[in-house]
């Protein structure tokens, strides 16, 4: 085990947690790293049980291993959850050696908190991506299946379509193609954000022009549902931002508003300057967002896929992209909603 001076020297030099324990698990001596890691002075620990600073489930497991180690059991490492003085959790990997001559246990612990949390975050990110791709692949498959079926029927000589039927089917093909394009565009943007290659390129632009340009491709979808779209922008309103990202924010929010608004509804788009921010509002008279879906809207991997009022596909990726673009501009996005009465999304971007 070594002399007291040798132990003290090692304790002072070791960068990890070191302690000397009696055979019943009582702490006899700790090094200064304990104070740094746990937020208590070293004298606070002496005379207390080693397991007092662990979560109850780890305390029981560790004490069993401790007893086995005293009686010659293996020196397998254990990662345990400990309490910091502020109540937060620390993950410490312990290894121990018992001296039968002195009836004392020497233990050394390495702080693995950062590694454990990184591993947990990585797993969450992978799970979220898996769920997101599962939803996206389902939507892609559904859209492609519809395209294949319609184009197959139109190319089959056994079908003798009238002019009106051809116009109807070509309209359906066009709508399905637009849905695919929207989904793929959002997926491409999301991929760029995840890889860190999406960068802001700020320019000065007229807000009303960008709003009009962003909503023009959506007019046909709104007209097919007899939805009235109103754009109200403060006269002469300009801003400095990434024009493509702002356009994507508006397009995604307005597209969602149209999808979830029934026939004969309305969508209003407003923009104005408030103090030092540009404030956007996209308000609809749609079906609203169910209670169980609200906390999931901006979370990767959460299932917020549901069809629009006319069966339009939506996997929720557009809102995730929208929030990412808002964050990249150091802005904020919030929403209020009432089922069967409508939803309002509000975006604030620094001017």
Going by C-alpha positions, the residue among 286, 308, 282, 298 that lies closest to residue 211 is 282
| Residue that finishes a domain, picked among 111, 127, 158 | 111
One domain for residues 320 and 207: yes
Q: Among 67, 63, 90, 92, which Cα is nearest to 77's?
A: 92
Helix (H, G, I), strand (E, B) or coil at 227: coil
Query: Residues of the chain whose pLDDT is less than 50?
Result: 1
d(CA 63, CA 145): 60
Residues 106 and 237 in one domain: no
Contact 192, 198 (CB under 8 A): yes
Same domain, 18 and 142: no
Q: Domain check: are 164 and 71 in the same one? A: no
Is 166 found in the same domain as 59? no
Token digits of residue 265: 């509804």
In total, the chain counts a number of residues equal to 351
Q: In Å, how far from its chain's centre is CA 175? A: 30
Total of domains in the chain: 2
Q: How far apart are CA 46 and CA 32, in angstroms?
A: 12
Give the Cα separation of 203 and 153 in Å (integer): 48
Domain containing 43 equals: 4-111
Strand order, beta sheet including 342-350 = 228-233, 266-274, 277-284, 342-350, 332-338
The answer on 132 and 85 residing in a single domain is: no
Say how far residue 305 (Cα) sits from the centre of its chain: 16
Q: What is the pLDDT of residue 210?
A: 92
What tokens appear for 69 in the block?
Answer: 């180690």
Question: Where is the domain boundary, 111, 129, 152?
Answer: 111
- Say what the pLDDT of residue 47 is: 92
Do residues 47 and 70 both lie within one domain?
Answer: yes
- Pair of tokens at residue 333: 């996005």
Task: Provide the CATH number for the domain around residue 345.
Answer: 3.30.565.10
The four Cα atoms 116, 120, 126, 128 give a dihedral, to 10 degrees, of -160
- Do residue 143 and residue 44 come from a single domain? no
Name the domain boundary from 60, 89, 111. Answer: 111
CATH number of the structural domain spanning residue 24: 3.30.450.20
Shared domain check, 188 and 63: no
39-45 CB contacts, 8 Å cutoff, 24+ apart: 39/84, 39/85, 39/86, 40/85, 45/19
Q: Is 190 exposed, middle or buried (0-12, 13-18, 19+ CB in 10 A)?
A: buried
Whole-number Å distance between alpha carbons of 329 and 246? 10
| Displacement of CA 350 from its chain's centroid (Å) | 23
Are 72 and 180 part of one and the same domain?
no
Q: Are residues 32 and 173 in the same domain?
A: no
Indicate whether 230 and 179 sit together in one domain. yes
């Amino acid at each position: 085990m070594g002399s007291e001076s040798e132990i003290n020297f090692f304790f002072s030099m070791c960068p990890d947690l070191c302690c000397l324990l009696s055979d019943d698990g009582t702490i006899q001596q700790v090094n200064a790293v304990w104070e740094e890691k746990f937020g208590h002075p070293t004298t606070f620990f002496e005379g207390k049980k080693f397991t007092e600073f662990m979560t109850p489930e780890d305390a029981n497991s560790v004490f069993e291993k401790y007893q086995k180690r005293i009686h010659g059991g293996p020196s397998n490492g254990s990662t345990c959850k400990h309490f910091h003085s502020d109540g937060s959790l620390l993950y410490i990997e312990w290894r121990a050696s018992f001296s039968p001559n002195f009836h004392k246990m020497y233990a050394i612990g390495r702080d693995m908190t950062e590694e454990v949390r990184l591993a947990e975050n990585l797993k969450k990110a992978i799970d979220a991506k898996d769920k997101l791709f599962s939803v996206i692949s389902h939507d892609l498959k559904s859209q492609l299946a519809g395209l294949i079926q319609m184009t197959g029927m139109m190319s089959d000589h056994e079908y003798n379509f009238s002019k009106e039927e051809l116009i109807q089917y070509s309209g359906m093909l066009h709508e399905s193609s637009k849905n695919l394009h929207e989904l793929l565009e959002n997926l491409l943007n999301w991929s760029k954000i995840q890889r860190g290659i999406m960068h802001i390129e700020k320019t000065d632009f007229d807000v009303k022009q960008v709003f009009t340009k962003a909503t023009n491709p959506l007019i046909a979808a709104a007209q097919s549902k007899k939805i009235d779209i109103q754009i109200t922008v403060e006269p002469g309103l300009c801003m400095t931002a990434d024009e493509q990202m702002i356009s994507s924010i508006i397009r995604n929010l307005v597209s969602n508003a149209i999808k979830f608004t029934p026939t004969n509804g309305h969508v209003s788009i407003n923009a104005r300057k408030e103090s030092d921010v540009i404030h956007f509002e996209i308000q609809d008279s749609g079906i609203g967002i169910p209670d169980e879906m609200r906390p999931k809207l901006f979370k990767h991997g959460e299932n917020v896929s549901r069809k629009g009022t006319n069966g339009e596909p939506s996997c929720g990726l557009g809102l995730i992209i929208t929030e990412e673009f808002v964050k990249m501009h150091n802005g904020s996005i919030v929403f209020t909603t009432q089922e069967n009465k409508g939803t309002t999304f509000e975006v604030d971007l620094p001017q």
